[in-house]
């Protein structure tokens, strides 16, 4: 059985805690072991919970998020710190605090998916076609290469020894890599093979029709449907348990 990732949420607003908890609950393998709206209560209990990740608001009464993180580290705790806030002016300070991530509210489940993908890459050393940074990717072509935003890739379709990379704007690029190579390189970025010739970005799945064996993705121009084999339907369903 795979080891789950333990996390706690610290935010003085109960509604913010509930919203974030709802998004986290959609992610397989990420378990909430503690939720706190009081910083004193958090500092008293978090050491015993031994979380892998601490999601913590920046602006809170009594102690702000940065002060709480300092105290956690004094206690010898070294979880991944993810600051959550409605304001972007704290980004530089978060970086100085060596935060693993900095998420702006409202946080959506794809933010958490991206975070978990980064943790997977860091833990396993999995390759992710990121020759520019962790958000961009390089694909070679006959005449050079393309640089693309990973989050803009909707799906990849095999074309012999080449592949078509289809983007959210309904355009596509022909690249000189076969699907097997792309699948190995995209490991850890929430891409899933749904047949012999197709890899999809699961962030954009809206529906699966088991009778028609169709998978529906949301592009910027509307919904598109792609064929999916029976075996992959079950695997895709398990991803969203």
pLDDT digits (tens, 9 = 90+) for 83-128: 998 876 776 676 667 788 888 888 887 778 777 877 766 665 544 4
Instruction: Check whether residue 103 and residue 187 sit in a common domain.
Output: no
Q: Which domain holds residue 182?
A: 136-239
For residues 23 and 56, state if they share a domain: yes
Residue 21 has pLDDT above 90, yes or no: yes
141 shares a domain with 82 = no
Residues 12 and 120 in one domain: yes
Could you tell me the end-to-end alpha-carbon distance of the chain, in angstroms, rounded to an integer? 16
Q: What is the pLDDT of residue 132?
A: 39
Last residue of a domain, one of 124, 155, 182: 124
- Cis check: omega of the bond before 222, within 30 degrees of 0: no
Closest by CA position to 130, among listed 114, 154, 111, 142: 114
Pick the last residue of a domain from 124, 148, 176: 124
Question: Are residues 73 and 103 located together in one domain of the fold?
Answer: yes
**pLDDT of the residue at 217:** 94
Where does the pLDDT of residue 63 fall: very low under 50, low under 70, confident under 90, or very high at 90 and above?
Answer: very high
In a domain, 129, yes or no: no
Instruction: Tell me the longest C-alpha to C-alpha distance in the chain.
Output: 62
Of 160, 159, 226, 161, nearest to 192 by C-alpha is 226
User: Is the model's pTM score more than 0.75?
Assistant: no
Question: Which residues, 6 or more positions from 188, have their beta carbon under 8 angstroms from its beta carbon?
Answer: 117, 120, 121, 124, 126, 128
% the chain with pLDDT above 70:
87
**Count of the separate structural domains present in the chain:** 2
């Amino acid at each position: 059985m795979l080891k789950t990732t333990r996390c706690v949420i610290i935010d003085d607003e109960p509604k913010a805690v509930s919203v974030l908890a709802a998004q986290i609950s959609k992610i397989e393998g990420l378990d909430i072991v503690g939720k706190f709206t009081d910083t004193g209560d958090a500092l008293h209990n978090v050491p015993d919970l031994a979380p892998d990740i601490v999601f913590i608001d920046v602006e809170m009464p009594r102690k702000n998020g940065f002060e709480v993180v300092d105290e956690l580290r004094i206690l010898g705790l070294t979880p991944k710190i993810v600051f959550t806030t409605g304001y972007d002016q704290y980004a530089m300070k978060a970086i100085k605090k060596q935060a693993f991530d900095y998420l702006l509210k409202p946080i959506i489940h794809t933010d958490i998916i991206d975070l978990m993908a980064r943790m997977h890459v860091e833990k396993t050393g999995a390759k992710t076609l990121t020759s520019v940074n962790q958000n961009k990717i390089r694909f070679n072509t006959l005449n050079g290469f393309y640089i693309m935003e990973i989050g803009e890739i909707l799906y990849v379709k095999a074309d012999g020894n080449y592949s078509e990379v289809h983007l959210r704007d309904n355009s596509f690029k022909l690249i000189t890599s076969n699907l097997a190579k792309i699948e190995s390189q995209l490991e850890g970025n929430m891409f899933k093979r749904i047949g012999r010739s197709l890899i999809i970005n699961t962030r954009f799945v809206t529906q699966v029709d088991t009778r028609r064996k169709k998978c529906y993705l949301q592009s910027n121009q509307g919904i598109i449907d792609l064929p999916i084999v029976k075996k992959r339907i079950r695997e895709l369903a398990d991803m969203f348990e």
